[in-house]
């Protein structure tokens, strides 16, 4: 019976992890997708701009 008690925690964690991944995948997109994408694009543009600005000065 020790093998059962050794296998239960990883199986339970795997089930919850699979559930978490399914929730994350299902909630992607929707009405706010364009707004979220725009926010990410703006943040990436700021990072790229700050990286290139010091290089242009040198």
Walking along the chain (58 residues) 10 residues at a time, the average pLDDT comes out as 91 96 85 84 89 61
Scored b (16 or more CB within 10 A) or e, 26-58 reads eeeeeeeeeeeeeeeeeeeeeeeeeeeeeeeee
Radius of gyration of the chain (CA): 22
pLDDT of residue 14: 97
Rounded to whole angstroms, the Cα distance separating 50 from 1 reads 59
């Amino acid at each position: 019976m020790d093998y059962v008690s050794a296998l239960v925690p990883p199986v339970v964690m795997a089930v919850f992890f699979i559930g978490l991944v399914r929730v994350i995948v299902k909630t992607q997109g929707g009405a706010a997708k364009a707004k979220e994408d725009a926010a990410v694009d703006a943040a990436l543009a700021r990072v790229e701009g700050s990286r290139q600005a010091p290089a242009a000065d040198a």
